[in-house]
């Protein structure tokens, strides 16, 4: 196993020495107050990442004026002097944890959400963003100069609030990025046209910020190396620009994408490759020789160490990994790589709540956004707890329960821990989820937990253990639709675990997450796959980025998706269905897979209702959902003991 010596090595940034090469990049938390000021929850959240060992914490997308600059419903703001005091708490918490405190300054530009300000968005030119679908108005030259000054004034406020530096957000299609990009800048004055003119706005901001804060204050610049759209920024353009500003800033933070390519480059879900920005960062680093280059985007400790060793970057930004485990840097320093809780890139909580402006949560770290409330402390009243079921909910309840000091017995009827999460992690694109499963099994096996494998729980056995509390985590079972001939269909677990043979022409009944992922795995194997879904869309329960990404990959794998189709019968290897118009059709298939959902296995949990004074049901045994509910309900039940 790697020793992560490069990651843990100090690095000079400006006139400062950072303790290692791991930073927390700007990720919106929605923990701000409605006016954009910081909350104590926000200070606790960022302070925890600093205490966990990150060298620097870059506080999220902070808008600079009280006009159009706010990009989302609950953005951070530092647009007037009243904002200084609340942001002081955040800077103080970060520095108390031993990290450098950096505040990212931003303007939403053409991508600002409709509910953010109530105003028409502004941009260099009236080019509509295809994601937010709002036409912006072009800024006047007077407004452009005013905004340059607003960035400088915001930087001064950040310095007054106690931050060590600011990061100018010139990436992701926001206003500064849209000036640099030929895709969005169609101006014909001195702020548009040539590469030099398009760079005038960001260069002016950099110079005005530096003049306002002085040389001792860190000024960084975040850039999208590529926008991923035809006619947009390329690594060659951005490398030239980055090289031209390296005498005026202290680091370049390399990201990629705009909102129109968000699912691929900005916040890629588990269907997308890892470390896609690293090659772009290398191109920029070849031109930027005087200051450190940071790279971000789906990096774990191993890919991060390799990026440093290969000279692709000088510093690694880890957003979602530090959301999942704030103590990742400390654990690496202590030689505890196996204890780092992995991010599964499932987007529940961190991304799914973004579009409604609700506060950040994490599917594998229930303390995220509630650090003070969920501080880990040993119980003063240890209980004898019996947990029935070794799936995700049961294992996490056992792990967390043992960590706070309860006596835990975990009973699992099979020879494997993991429940339905086992088959869910089998597809090739579910590597991150598999890492979570392996981490959870490892932590349970390392903890002071009595594990009874291959053991059928009975009321007699449970009572003999004399529990104070019984936690039912008996899981769920596949359900099928009441259709004649459905017994000929396979369930997804048999397909994904490869315990049943599968033909070449396949029909998957059900286009929810399980059905779509099963279809994608088979499509990637070269099978001829068709999904039949009753609803008008595929994976409609997913947040937009995961849905877009999954649909793109289904198309690339040549999976046919047929929606608003109701299956009425399976007969002689044919699936008969009604389309949206009520017309009956049929599809011949070598293999039929019924992926119409899971439901709580109430038959498995019912016998244990009176086995202790307190009996609680969690996870899929309560209602079949995602691992978000499994982790969060596990913590809730242990915290309530």
Q: Residues with catalytic annotation?
A: 174
Q: How far apart are CA 101 and CA 60, in angstroms?
A: 11
Close Cβ partners of 146 (under 8 Å, ≥ 6 residues apart): none
**CA atoms of 395 and 401, how far apart (whole Å):** 10
Question: How many alpha carbons fall within 13 Å on the CB side of residue 348?
Answer: 17
Taking the alpha carbons of 546, 548, 551, 553 in that order, is the dihedral positive or negative? Answer: negative
CB 522 within 8 A of CB 502: yes
HEC profile of 428-483: CCCHHHHHHHHHHHHHHHHCCEEEECCCCCCHHHHHHCCCCEEEECCCEEECCCCC
Using CA atoms, how far apart are residues 29 and 497, in angstroms rounded to an integer? 37
Q: Residue 104 and residue 507: Cα distance in Å, rounded? A: 49
- Cβ–Cβ under 8 Å, residues 492 and 518: yes
**Helix orientation angle between 627-639 and 392-403, rounded to the nearest 10 degrees:** 30
Residues 422, 497: contact at Cβ < 8 Å?
Answer: yes
Secondary structure (DSSP) of 270-290 = TTSPS-TTHHHHHHHHHH--S
Half-sphere exposure of residue 541: CA atoms within 13 angstroms, side-chain side: 12
At residue 102, the 3 state secondary structure works out as strand
DSSP states of 167-209: EEEE-BTSHHHHHH-TTT----STTSSSHHHHTHHHHHHHHHH
Q: Which two tokens stand for residue 579?
A: 């389309």
> Shortest CA distance to 634 belongs to which of 353, 384, 341, 404?
404
Residue with tokens 């909580």: 349
Q: Are 28 and 361 in contact (CB under 8 A)?
A: no
CA distance 340 to 350: 18
Tokens 């000036």 label which residue? Answer: 179
Cα separations in angstroms, 252 against 41, 169, 315, 544, 619: 29, 11, 10, 29, 43
């Amino acid at each position: 196993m790697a020793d992560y010596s490069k990651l843990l090595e100090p690095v000079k940034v400006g006139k400062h020495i950072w303790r290692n090469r791991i930073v927390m990049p700007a990720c919106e938390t929605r923990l701000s107050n409605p006016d954009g000021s910081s909350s104590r929850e926000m200070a606790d959240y960022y302070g925890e990442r600093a205490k966990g060992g990150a060298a620097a914490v870059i506080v999220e997308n902070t808008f600079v004026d009280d006009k159009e600059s706010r990009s989302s419903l609950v953005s951070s703001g530092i647009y007037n002097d009243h904002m200084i005091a609340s942001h002081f708490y955040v800077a103080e918490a970060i520095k108390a944890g031993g990290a450098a405190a950096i505040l990212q300054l931003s303007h939403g530009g053409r991508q600002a959400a409709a509910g953010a300000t109530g105003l028409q968005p502004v941009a260099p030119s009236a080019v509509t963003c295809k994601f937010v679908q709002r036409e912006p108005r072009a800024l006047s030259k007077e407004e452009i100069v005013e905004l340059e000054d607003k960035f400088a004034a915001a930087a001064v406020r950040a310095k007054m609030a106690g931050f060590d530096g600011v990061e100018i957000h010139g990436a992701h299609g926001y206003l500064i990025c849209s000036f640099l990009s030929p895709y969005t800048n169609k101006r014909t004055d001195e702020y548009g046209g040539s590469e030099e003119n398009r760079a005038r706005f960001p260069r002016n901001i950099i110079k005005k910020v530096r003049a306002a804060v002085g040389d001792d204050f860190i000024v960084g610049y975040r850039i999208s190396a590529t926008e991923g759209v035809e006619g947009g920024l390329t690594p060659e353009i951005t490398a030239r620009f980055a090289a031209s500003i390296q005498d005026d800033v202290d680091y370049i933070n390399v990201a990629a994408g705009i909102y129109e390519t968000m699912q691929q480059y900005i916040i890629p879900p588990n269907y997308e490759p890892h470390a896609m920005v690293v090659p772009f960062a290398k191109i920029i680093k070849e031109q930027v020789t005087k200051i450190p280059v940071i790279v971000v985007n789906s990096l774990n400790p191993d890919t991060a160490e390799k990026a440093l060793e290969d000279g692709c970057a000088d510093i690694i930004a880890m957003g979602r990994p530090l959301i999942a485990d704030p103590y990742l840097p400390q654990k690496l320093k202590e030689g505890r790589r196996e204890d780092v809780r992995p991010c599964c890139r499932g987007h529940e909580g961190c991304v799914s709540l973004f579009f409604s402006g609700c506060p950040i949560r994490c599917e594998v770290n229930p303390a995220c956004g509630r650090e003070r409330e969920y501080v880990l402390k040993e119980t003063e009243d240890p209980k004898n707890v019996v947990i029935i079921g070794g799936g995700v909910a049961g294992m996490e309840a056992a792990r967390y329960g043992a960590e706070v000091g309860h006596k835990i017995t975990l009973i699992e009827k099979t020879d494997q821990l993991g429940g339905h999460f086992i088959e869910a992690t089998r597809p090739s694109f579910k590597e991150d989820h598999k890492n979570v499963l392996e981490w959870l099994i490892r932590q349970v096996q390392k903890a002071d937990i009595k594990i009874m494998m291959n053991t059928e729980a009975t009321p007699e056995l449970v009572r003999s253990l004399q529990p104070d509390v019984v936690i039912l985590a008996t899981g769920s079972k596949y359900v099928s639709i009441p259709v004649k001939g459905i017994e000929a269909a396979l369930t997804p677990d048999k397909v994904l675990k490869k315990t049943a043979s599968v033909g070449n022409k396949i029909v998957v009944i059900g286009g929810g997450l399980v059905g779509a992922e099963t279809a994608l795995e088979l499509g990637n194997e070269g099978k001829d796959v068709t999904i039949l879904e009753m609803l008008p869309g595929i994976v409609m329960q997913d947040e937009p980025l995961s849905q877009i990404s999954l649909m793109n990959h289904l198309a690339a794998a040549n999976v046919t998706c047929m929606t608003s189709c109701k299956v009425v019968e399976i007969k002689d290897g044919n699936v008969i269905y009604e389309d949206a118009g009520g017309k009956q059709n049929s599809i011949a298939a070598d293999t039929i897979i019924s992926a119409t959902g899971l439901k709580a296995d109430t038959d498995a949990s019912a016998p244990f209702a009176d086995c202790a004074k307190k009996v609680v049901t969690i996870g899929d045994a309560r209602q079949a959902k995602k691992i978000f509910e499994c982790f969060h309900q596990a913590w809730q039940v242990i915290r309530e003991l």
